[in-house]
Structure 1
């Protein structure tokens, strides 16, 4: 009986210590954010340790291109079902390659009217955040409504996908109709990493693609040791005439030196800060989190 009592006591004390430590980390982040002119939401979960903390993690934040991760999951789900194939050729017409939008696909194939493997379009869309690639994939699976329904069926309820990239760029307010809570974004990352969504081959493909992401080098990866493996997806809005940036985001999974991981979602919304400061907010919060997990 004494051994059982001691074990229970140890578990309670250990749990108390973890909660106390995460409370300190949360306080550090809140103090850091106190001087920033932006709404910032943070959600973190240690994948193996199960340690978690959050700051403003249940509000609605504009996703911007972060939703290309959500889209990639839906596309690869159709690959796993045999509806699509990674090596199948997708016809990309010239009128699919809209001007005045970020599109490395358009730069590579300016004349259009080409057949591009689905795998290549996915890589452009996720790793390079191609807006035209995003809308091509959305049309392929049936549009934003299909994506939204897919996410809700997964159990990710606090997210809404209502428009594509083309529509998001038509006016300022439309971008806010594609939103997520930071907690929901982290929950989706966890489901992805725990192989609850995709087959092993589809997981491997998307994991490599997210690790190869070239956008947002000053965000989650900004203050981490060089060579740290980060599988992530960024999102970025424009800045309006009042100097407000609607969204500077990054979500991802960070590999620690002991080969454990943490999932992190950081959304910086309605910011009056400049671009460097918005990205520094994400980098600083990630660095504090890294320091916590490697202590």
Structure 2
């Protein structure tokens, strides 16, 4: 008898139950890649924060594939490029007087290390956020908007809502990444390696999965204002024991819950998705 797959309605109900402790807006997209099996819970638009560095990385590598950029190109990172002290930037912290890095190093710092300074330097090399959004539309991804830089978000708390995604849009992005749409095989492989090797967000998508489960993912986090955190996110590709991949996107927005609770929601949703198909 053929495997009919999981009960998607039951999974959606379970996701809603698991999301409740966040006490905010939670958007979830889950899909078995290569199939039409998918669950979307919460159709609103959510601030991505550093999740936007995933489409940024794809756009940078597409420019490399076109010959417009080279991973070996050296770029001066000056004090004027640094994001604010409130924002995450190991480059700024390690090199307070500036540094010269390759495009490949900047890509690893942005997509793998979530470095805000690296992201803005790459955006500038591309020509700005509109170039990333144009890349997304060119590969057929709707529902993911890149409109502002890291510096913009550092200056204006509300600017982060302009870099937004719906759960369905995040699934479209992850499907494009999985398929390597707009990218050479070499570039796709490189980006997946960077996203798999990242150490960010150990308690999010990876938090409750079996040890050793491959997860290629990108987190996003905002600071809190008046006790409410605008964004606690993780989106990525989870590899099942049989080699199939799940696309999982979880956005926890405008939540008064503490860090551990918000991250637990993401981990619990990822585990529910994993269990639904791993069975």
TM-score range relative to shorter protein: over 0.9
Structure 1 equivalent of residue 271 of structure 2: 287
- The answer to whether the aligner puts 1:269 opposite 2:253 as a matched pair is yes
TM-superposed deviation, 1:217? 0.6
The answer to whether the 8 A contact 2:21-2:265 is kept is no
Structure 2 equivalent of residue 5 of structure 1: none
Q: Quick one: structure 1 residues 139 and 22, their matched pair in 2 at CA, closer, same or farther if it must change by over 3 Å?
A: same
The answer to whether the 8 A contact 2:21-2:261 is kept is no
> What TM-score do you get using the length of structure 2 for normalisation?
0.95
Structure 2 equivalent of residue 169 of structure 1: 154
Structure 2 equivalent of residue 45 of structure 1: 31
> Aligned partners of 2:54 and 2:103: how far apart in 1?
15
Bigger relative contact order, structure 1 or 2, given CA contacts below 8 A and separation 6+?
2
> Aligned partners of 1:43 and 1:70: how far apart in 2?
17
Q: Deviations over 1:188-230 (max 9, x none)?
A: 1111111222101111110110001111110000001111110
From 5, 8, 13, the counterpart of 1:27: 13
Q: Quick one: structure 1 residues 84 and 287, their matched pair in 2 at CA, closer, same or farther if it must change by over 3 Å?
A: same
Q: Stretches of 4+ moved more than 2 A in 1?
A: 31-36, 107-110
Of residues 184-193 and 133-142 in structure 1, the stretch that sits farther from structure 2 once superposed is 184-193
Aligned residue pairs, count: 278
> Aligned partners of 1:99 and 1:219: how far apart in 2?
25
The answer to whether the 8 A contact 2:83-2:150 is kept is no
Structure 2, unaligned runs of 5 or more: none
Q: Quick one: structure 1 residues 89 and 239, their matched pair in 2 at CA, closer, same or farther if it must change by over 3 Å?
A: same
Structure 1 equivalent of residue 71 of structure 2: 86
Q: Secondary structure at the match of 1:43?
A: strand
> Aligned partners of 1:237 and 1:95: how far apart in 2?
22
- The answer to whether the aligner puts 1:256 opposite 2:246 as a matched pair is no
Structure 2 equivalent of residue 73 of structure 1: 58
TM-superposed deviation, 1:82? 0.4
From 97, 103, 111, the counterpart of 1:111: 97
> Aligned partners of 1:179 and 1:36: how far apart in 2?
19
The answer to whether the 8 A contact 2:221-2:231 is kept is yes
Q: Quick one: structure 1 residues 257 and 86, their matched pair in 2 at CA, closer, same or farther if it must change by over 3 Å?
A: same
Q: Secondary structure at the match of 1:234?
A: strand
> Aligned partners of 1:71 and 1:264: how far apart in 2?
19
Structure 1, unaligned runs of 5 or more: 1-9
> Aligned partners of 1:210 and 1:149: how far apart in 2?
22
Q: Deviations over 1:41-72 (max 9, x none)?
A: 1111111444211111x311001000000101
> What TM-score do you get using the length of structure 1 for normalisation?
0.90
